[in-house]
Amino acid sequence: MATNMNRHTQSTPPRRSFLTNMGLGFGSLALGVMLNQDGVARADWAPPTGVPHFPPKAKSVIWLFMNGGVSQMETFDPKPMLTKYAGKTIAETPFADTQDPKKLAIERLVAPDGNGRQRNKLYPLQVGYKRHGQSGIEISDWFPHIAGQADRLAVVRSMWTTDSNHGAQAQFHSGRHRNDGSFPTLGAWVHYGLGSLNDNLPQFISIGKREYWNKRDGYYLGPAHDAVPLRIDPNNPLDFSRPGTPISPQSQQIGRQLLEELNDLRGEQYPDDPEMEARIASYELAFRMQSSIPEVVDFAQETAETKSLYGIDKPHSKDFGMQLLASRRLVERGVRFIQIQHGGGGAGAWDSHSGLKKNHGKLALAVDQPIGGLLEDLARRGLLEETLVIFCSEFGRTPGSQGSDGRDHHIFGFTVWMAGGGLKGGVVHGATDEIGFHAVEDRHYVTDVHATILHQLGLDSRQLEIPGRKRLEIDHGKPIREIIA
């Protein structure tokens, strides 16, 4: 026992010096607390220092998540066989073996809600495709602006997941099936692992509506690692970002001075109190945030040309364009992780069980120009090299039709793409079979995307692991080496 106790005292990292060394960034304040609690609990463990584990290629991530399930076949993974065999059941085509029950066994249902079923009758492609850029990547005609960036994209056509309910939204963010419980999302891990690039701004921001199963981020890392929800409204960008009842700047200034003085005076009776020091620092940050946050979502300084690049001048792409312009401004100012939820709430806007053509066509119009504009704008400003942009969705959609004109949920093969952040441009990696059913070449579970992003940020997920929270091999995933430049 005596030995163990010695071990305790000797190995518990000195919280005090840690807080001062870290420059008291957002992450570090939260970390200081973690350290306080868990440093006591586990002797042979130290929390992250905020410094990458190896030299990073990227500094920031813009995470574009399309809620509801994007059809891989009508976006980035053309399957002419669907048109050729349209109306035939899969069993009648040469691809009957795709429905081999053994291959379907990866599915784990949360709710038998009637969706996510096998849809047998092949549904033809609802949109045309062309090759784009020097790379000649095939992209559907609904995405002309993204297509204009083809040579910057690394398209991964061989994703798979296991939850065919929309809880897969949470699974895509955390890597875990909902039946396993709730786990930290990728953004929370990044926030936990990396120090701040700008102490005037939260380092993990979320924009857009989220459904309940996908509402939070920190979980066992703590609520301090939840994303801070941001609204694109300079007058009300954050909860509590300005006084509910107006107070004159002069009176605020008097108050601030008094608070500083009183905390200092209290410090005479309670010297070197780390919690008090952290709190004082948090007030300083909050004060700076009050001006820095509205500034980020105020586009007065942006040119008309830039706004139009993002489609802000068109009604159908205005909202998403503003979110992405704000994202660029956040990246510029050193925010680590910007999580954007498009079409969030309920099952998600992309969930085209019927009327797929109309639905996907309309949503593509809303997101295409903003995304194309974002990539172009980042590249022009030299930010794309250090910013990793990812376009993703919880799963794909069935090659077969649901009803007369929809596609159902599909977990066995779907597409994501990434750009920037030290990845290759103009590459396609992995493939589904000829009807887009199963990922067959270079298959990747969702955590491989996480591993790729963490790798580019210089983080090793194993070194971030928390004692008592054993992660599985599959939770860590493997970086997709083939798309890393």
Partner 1 sequence: MTTCAILPAKFLPLAATWLLIVTCLNVCSVSAATADEASAKYESHVKPLLKARCYACHGAWKQKAGLRLDTAKFILQGGDSGEAIVPGNAKASPILDRVATNDVSQRMPPEHEGEPLKADEIKLIRDWIEAGAPAPEAEEPEHSPKDHWSFRPIERPALPQVKNAQWVRNPIDAWIAARHEQQGLAPQKEAPRIVLLRRVYLDLIGLPPTTEEIAAAQADTSPQWYENIVDKLLADPRYGERWGRHWMDVWRYSDWWGLNAQLRNSQKHIWHWRDWIVESLNEDRPYDEMIQMMLAADELAPNDPQELRASGFLARNFFIFNRDQWMDEVVTHVSKGFLGLTMNCAKCHDHKFDPIRQVDYYRMRAFFEPYHVRTDVVPGATVSDDGIPRAFDGKLDTPTYLFIRGDESRPDKSHAIEPGVPEILAFGEIDIQPVELPVQAWRPESRRWVLDNYIAAAEESLKAAKKKQGETAEAELLVAEANLKSIQLRAAAITAEIEGDDAARQQTRQDAIQAQRELAFAKARLELLSAETSLAKVAEKDRKEAEKKLATAKESLKKQSDLLKAEIKPEDKVEPFVGAKWSATRFGSTQRDDPEFAFPSTSTGRRTALARWITDKRNPLTARVAVNHLWNRHFAAPLAPVPFDLGRNSAPTPYPELIDYLATELIDHQWSMKHLHRLIVTSATYRMSSSQAGMEANLAKDPDNQFWWRRRPIRLESQAIRDSILYLAGTLDPTMGGPSVPTKEQANSKRRSLYFFHSNNERNPFLLTFDEAEVTECYRREQSVVPQQALAMTNSDLVLQSAQQIAQRISASAMDDQQFVRQAFVTIVGIDPTKRELAAGLKALQDWNQVAGDSGDKARGHLVWILLNHNDFITVR
Minimum CB–partner distance for residue 198 and partner 1 (Å): 12
Which is nearer to partner 1, 277 or 332 (by Cβ)?
277
Does residue 162 interact with partner 1 by CB under 8 A? no
**Is 46 near partner 1 (CB under 8 A)?**
yes
Which residue of 20, 21, 23, 41 would you call a contact of partner 1, by CB under 8 A? 41
| 113 contacts partner 1 (rule: CB under 8 A) | yes
Could you say which residues in the range 424-443 bind partner 1, by CB under 8 A? none
Q: How far apart are CA 121 and CA 195, in angstroms?
A: 51
The residues, any chain, with a CB within 8 Å of residue 262's CB and separated by 6 or more, are none
> From the list 103, 131, 266, 380, which residue makes contact with partner 1 (rule: CB under 8 A)?
266
The pair of structure tokens assigned to 428 is: 């396609």
Interface of this chain with partner 1, residues 337 to 366, rule: CB under 8 A = 346
- Given the complex with partner 1, which of 83 and 263 has the nearer CB atom? 263
Residue 485 touches partner 1, criterion: CB under 8 A: no
Residues 237-256 that bind partner 1 (CB under 8 A): 238-245, 247-248, 250-251, 254-255
Q: What angle do CA 276, 279, 281 make, to 5 degrees?
A: 110
**Strand (E) positions, 250-386?**
337-342
Is 181 a binder of partner 1 (CB under 8 A)?
yes
CB of 266 to partner 1, least distance (A): 6
Q: How far is C-alpha 103 from the chain's CA centre?
A: 29
Q: Which of 55, 101, 102, 112 binds partner 1 (CB under 8 A)?
A: 112
| Contacts (CB under 8 A) with partner 1, residues 267-296 | 269-273, 275-276, 278-283, 285-287, 289-290
Closest approach of Cβ 287 to partner 1, in Å?
8
Both tokens of residue 183?
A: 């786990």
Nearest-approach distance from CB 380 to partner 1, in angstroms: 32
Instruction: Determine if 114 is a binding residue for partner 1 (CB under 8 A).
Output: yes
Distance CA 447, CA 110 (A): 20
* Residues 368-407 interacting with partner 1 (rule: CB under 8 A): none
By CB under 8 A, tell whether 466 contacts partner 1.
no
Count of residues interacting with partner 1 (CB under 8 A): 93
**The one segment of 25-33, 59-67, 132-140, 428-436 that binds partner 1 by CB under 8 A:** 25-33
Q: Which is nearer to partner 1, 134 or 179 (CB)?
A: 179
Task: Determine, following the binding rule CB under 8 A, whether residue 42 of this chain makes contact with partner 1.
Answer: yes
Alpha-carbon distance of 73 to 396, in angstroms, equals 8
Q: Do residues 171 and 393 make contact, with C-beta atoms less than 8 angstroms apart?
A: no
Report the distance separating Cα 390 and Cα 384, nearest Å. 12
Residue 402 bridge partners (DSSP)? 406
Contacting residues for 320 by C-beta, under 8 A, at least 6 apart: 311, 342, 366, 367, 370
β-pairing, 153-160 vs 414-420, is antiparallel
Beta bridge pairs of residue 258: none
Q: Is 231 exposed, middle or buried (0-12, 13-18, 19+ CB in 10 A)?
A: middle
